[in-house]
Amino acid sequence: MVFALAQPFALIGLLVGFATAGVLRHLAQAATLRALGSGLPQPSLARLGLHPLGILAACLTGTGFGNPRPAPGELTGPRRRLYVLSGPIAVIAAGYLLLSVYHLGWPGESLSGLYLPSDVLHGAPGGGIDAGGQTVFTAAVGMIGFGLTALLPIPPADGWYLWNPPPTRLTVLLADRSVGAVILLLLLIVPVGDSPPVHQLLDLIGAPLLRA
């Protein structure tokens, strides 16, 4: 988000997108848990699962990641995967819905065809753009970026918990001692070539979503 300081409405959009994504991820997983069995413990609303390093990543790169929210032991197989996936999928779907609102509300603009997700996360589009459209567009891209990042198979991202790795020394080091969070942060901020690896992945997967 620091790259968007010169574009206040883009900055507002990224802040709104990140905060909304964190809340929506929590609500979607809580609702899925409730639907799968009322006897299972519900995630506390007081803990929305925003990892401190994920917040730092959002400040530095425009998108971040949440805290680990492992599936309860009572959930196995497809029910477990449904619970884990519900958060990221809900965020991506909401981001895409907000992108549709942008296209309907500002039909004269074509920002989706001009910018990659990584451009938007770094504060594009620039000046001369309608403030409302810029805010809605960047919020939508921020949410899509959050949801896609959550699917990465690196703890504390939700994607790590899709395959339920056995408790080995490596998995404990990655998940329980925040080594995975440091790795994920580095993948978000350290350029390899022109941009960080996660941003390259977001451009590869997210660009077709923006232009659909």
* DSSP string over 131-198: HHHHHHHHHHHHHHHHHHHHTSSSTTSGGGGGS-----HHHHHHHTSSHHHHHHHHHHHS-BTTB-HH
Q: Where are the beta strands (DSSP E) in 21-91?
A: none
pTM exceeds 0.85 for this model: yes
Domains of the chain: total: 1
Q: What is the pLDDT of residues 2-20, one digit of tens each?
A: 655 667 888 899 999 999 9
Q: What is the pLDDT of residues 30-60, one digit of tens each?
A: 888 888 875 555 555 445 667 888 889 888 8
Give yes or no for a contact between 30 and 47, defined as CB atoms under 8 angstroms apart.
no
pLDDT-derived band of residue 125, with 50, 70 and 90 as boundaries?
Answer: low
Residue, of 129 and 3, whose pLDDT is higher: 129
Residue, of 38 and 115, whose pLDDT is higher: 115
Q: What is the pLDDT of residue 79?
A: 86
Give yes or no for a contact between 150 and 25, defined as CB atoms under 8 angstroms apart.
yes
Give yes or no for a contact between 146 and 63, defined as CB atoms under 8 angstroms apart.
yes
Nearest-angstrom CA–CA distance, 132 and 199: 25
Q: How many CB atoms lie within 10 A of CB 193?
A: 7
Residue 174: domain span: 2-211
* pLDDT, mean of residues 178-201: 91
Amino acid residing at 76: T
User: In the predicted model, is pLDDT for residue 211 greater than 80?
Assistant: no
